[in-house]
Chains A and B, each alone.
Chain A
Amino acid sequence: METGALKRKAAQIRMDLLRMIHRAGTGHTGGSLSNTDILTSLYYRVMKIDPANPKWAERDRFIASKGHAVESLWCILADRGFFPKEELETFSRFGTRLIGHPNNKVPGIEMNTGALGHGLAISVGMALAAKRDGRSSRVFCLMGDGEQAEGSVWEAAMAGAHYRLDNLVGIIDRNRLQISGPTEDVMGLDPLDDKWSAFGWHVVPVDGNDVDALVNVFEAAPEVSGKPTLVLAHTVKGKGVSFAEHVPKWHHHVPNDKELALALSELSAELGSLEQIKGGQA
């Protein structure tokens, strides 16, 4: 998908996930909106996947280490045809497979995540297996920035560099907010780029809400052979919904009817202007 279409897709996914969270009355809104552009770039352009054959051995792997922000992923997997779109209606309902975290009973989900700080180690294992098996699969692991306080992240970071896993791409959704407020107030992380470099990773900063930039970075990785890549994606929590952007409570706040209507009108206006660009180009 070309980047204009990716941008429109991202707006569409944001609308889908807001409707889904509103309907369910529960969900992690802010972190899903912040990582939508990252997931859209991966699932519609960068990753080698086959929705008709989700277990294809040569596929690239995606691990949502920040599993709480699964809503964008559910909407994308449905849209890409891993399961019927109607199933989104069951999100968080009694007995559903589409729970509030990645659940590998659902096609397209590799592993169950949700306890923070697990994803990178799993990804190291997958990347190592691909190397040992001589497969070209890459592994993409999305982490939160608050999640960086878990020691297990750094154990895995060490191992990824030690095993020279240049088929591994770690991504940090650097939206600078966690539940209790700004990351730098809760548990300071800066300079995060230097920390990852010191652990032996090739660090690439990027605007994590700019699909052009993201696609370039993901397609260029690995820029340095023998080193895993860490994409430090600077994002806005709540991105795309003016009143949710940068506001901590939207971590798991659910839009009421009025807020949903407002958010959808903002996003459809954005979609409209993206359509116009497309029209102008055509």
Chain B
Amino acid sequence: MAHGIPNRQVICETLLGLAKEDRDLMVLASDSRGSAAMAPFASAYPEQFVEVGIAEQNIVGIAAGLAHSGKKPWVTSPACFLSMRSIEQIKVDVAYSATNVKLVGISGGVSYGALGMSHHSLQDVAVARAIPGLTVILPSDRHETRRMTEALVRHEGGVYVRIGRNPVEDVYDDDEGEFVIGRAVTMREGSDLTIIAAGETVRVALDAQELLKEAGVSARVLNMHTIKPLDEEAVVRAARETGLIITVEEHSIHGGLGAAVAEVVVQRCPVPVRILGIPDEPAIAGKSAEVFRHYGLSKENIREIAIRMLGSGEERPWTRSSF
């Protein structure tokens, strides 16, 4: 069920809890403290908060300078701008210079709905993952987001985190478990095929798994929260043991989770892979749910595709269209 807490709020609450003990922990915002849900942090720890105004290049440069001086900066800014406007600062000042900057892209994917392509963030994973040394993470629900935030505060190095805007349904039953960067979580065991998802599409994958179970199909579900470094072993195991893979992501079909998985599969254990995402077009305007439905990022579509892939062999792994 939707828990009513967006992941951005979970990050703020977790950092608030840690900031008192760790005076080097800092949060930066680009006229975005409201969208990042960071207003409580700004009021609680004004000395650990920096406002840079509408200046996404500046925010990353300043964060890199702070990190160089021993601070632990968390940059919070809309994913669309942070991942595009600031990408050179991310490449050079964060990744290349190996500074300890956490970059949180908020309202990613199509969370901004009818604001259009300028505000959708559907290329960010592709871009971020092409930068050597940058870790890329899409947490799913509130439990995972909290665990991830704690793990990242302990982790040294540049990380790009992408989260959405709205409350997210739980995918974990409880608050247990550890977040290990780079290790996929097997959410459901299965033998006929594997559905790999990340971020908010993990919920869709789990729902599809239920539908498939009713249809007598045993689907494995992997939560690939870390897109880079990718858990290659989990992917290869899925390919070997289940023979078919469907990936689901709130991202362009080019260069994201599906591409990362396919790169491993094609080189290490070729099996059919079907990449579900947003096709190569400016995404249609609408609410997230409407956009998801339009592009077939739904449990029903995943079930259809799975059954077709298992059945007729009419599916070709190399077709590129998204549904």
A162-184 vs B, Cβ < 8 Å mask (1 yes, 0 no): 00000000000000001110010
- Residues in B neighbouring A263, C-beta threshold 8 A: none
User: Are B31 and A112 closer than 8 Å at their CB atoms?
Assistant: no
CB of A216, distance to nearest CB on chain B (Å): 31
Q: Is the interface of A mostly helix, strand, loop or mixed?
A: loop
B80-116 vs A, Cβ < 8 Å mask (1 yes, 0 no): 1100110000000000000000000000000001111
- Name which residue of chain B comes closest to A189, CB basis: B53
A280 contacts the other chain (CB 8 A): no
User: Are A115 and B284 closer than 8 Å at their CB atoms?
Assistant: no
- Name which residue of chain B comes closest to A28, CB basis: B115
User: Are A96 and B53 closer than 8 Å at their CB atoms?
Assistant: no
User: Are B284 and A116 closer than 8 Å at their CB atoms?
Assistant: no
A109-126 vs B, Cβ < 8 Å mask (1 yes, 0 no): 000111111000000000
User: Are B114 and A92 closer than 8 Å at their CB atoms?
Assistant: yes
Q: Which of B54, B58, B290 makes the CB contact (< 8 A) with A116? A: B54
- Residues in B neighbouring A186, C-beta threshold 8 A: 31, 51, 53
User: Are B117 and A112 closer than 8 Å at their CB atoms?
Assistant: yes
User: Are A150 and B54 closer than 8 Å at their CB atoms?
Assistant: yes
Answer whether A151 and B55 are a contact pair too, CB < 8 Å, given A113-B118, A114-B115.
yes
A135 contacts the other chain (CB 8 A): no
- Name which residue of chain A comes closest to B284, CB basis: A95
A48 contacts the other chain (CB 8 A): no
Q: What CA separation (Å) do A26 and B32 show in the bound complex?
A: 18
B183 contacts the other chain (CB 8 A): no
CB of B45, distance to nearest CB on chain A (Å): 16
- Residues in B neighbouring A94, C-beta threshold 8 A: 284-287, 290, 294
- Name which residue of chain A comes closest to B119, CB basis: A114
A-B contact pairs, 5 of them (CB 8 A): A95-B286, A101-B119, A114-B119, A180-B29, A180-B33
Given contacts A114-B115, A179-B35, 16 further A-B contacts (CB under 8 A): A68-B115, A93-B285, A95-B285, A100-B114, A100-B116, A101-B116, A101-B119, A103-B116, A112-B116, A115-B80, A147-B54, A149-B55, A149-B58, A151-B57, A178-B54, A186-B53
